[in-house]
Amino acid sequence: MPSSAPFTFTMRGIILALALTFVGSQKFDIDPGFSGRKSHLYSYEGWVLNGLQEKSLAKAGVRLSCKLEISELSENAYLLKIRSPQFEEYNGIWPRDPFTRSSKITQMVSSCFTRPFKFEYNSGRIGNIYGPEDCPDMCINIVRGILNMMQITIKKSQNVLESEVFAIHGTSSRKTGRTAESLLPKL
């Protein structure tokens, strides 16, 4: 009696290849689809900590909380308004010590955010960022960091979501074991 093991293994390979081809051929659009008639309001919180990775060692950093309003100017040009920025400083043992409000930093940077910033956005990529002429580079860099939350590339596979985030410090990749549809509302 002939063995059917090689035939079964070959068929499984063919079925796997067809399934991967089918999944890979599906289009997945993550563009937020900003409408020219609407303004989109987001709550934003971002923080940066510096220090060694070991627990119970001192770290220093800053946290920014604010509201973001994004509206479309033209097909690939958008306007970003930053509302109610609040900066908090961190200086202590992570994660035991709390952030403390920094009115000095908030006041200094809030003056930059009184006027809107223009940016280019196309197919998940942030292009040029334009700020007021007298806006310090520090404020432009903060805006660049905020806009990095929108600059993502997502690859959809059967049960794994791979995302790649392009930031000032480089590229960061992440794999998540959920389907992309369950993550879309959170993006």
List pLDDT tens digits, range 121-153.
887 788 899 999 889 998 999 999 888 877 655
- Please calculate the CA angle 49-182-79 and round it to the nearest 5 degrees: 60
Between β-strands 39-51 and 58-72, what pairing exists: parallel, antiparallel or unpaired? antiparallel
* CA pair distance 173, 123, nearest whole angstrom: 18
pLDDT of residue 143: 92
DSSP 8-state class, residue 98: P
Q: How many CA atoms lie within 13 A of 72 on its CB side?
A: 12
Task: Identify the burial level of 15 via C-beta atoms within 10 angstroms of its C-beta, where 0-12 means exposed, 13-18 middle and 19 or more buried.
Answer: exposed
Please give the pLDDT value at position 116: 95
Site of tokens 């220093």: 60
Q: Contact at 8 Å (CB) between 19 and 158?
A: yes
Q: What DSSP element (H or E) covers 21?
A: helix 5-25
Peptide bond into 6 cis (omega under 30): no
pLDDT of residue 57: 87
Residues of the chain with pLDDT under 70: 1-11, 13, 16-36, 151-187
Classify 123 in phi/psi space as left (phi over 0), alpha (psi -120 to 50) or beta.
left
Q: In what order do the strands lie in the sheet with 170-176?
A: 152-156, 161-167, 170-176
User: pTM above 0.75?
Assistant: no
Q: Which of 58, 60, 61, 57 is nearest to 47 (CA)?
A: 61
Helices (H), 111-177: 137-147
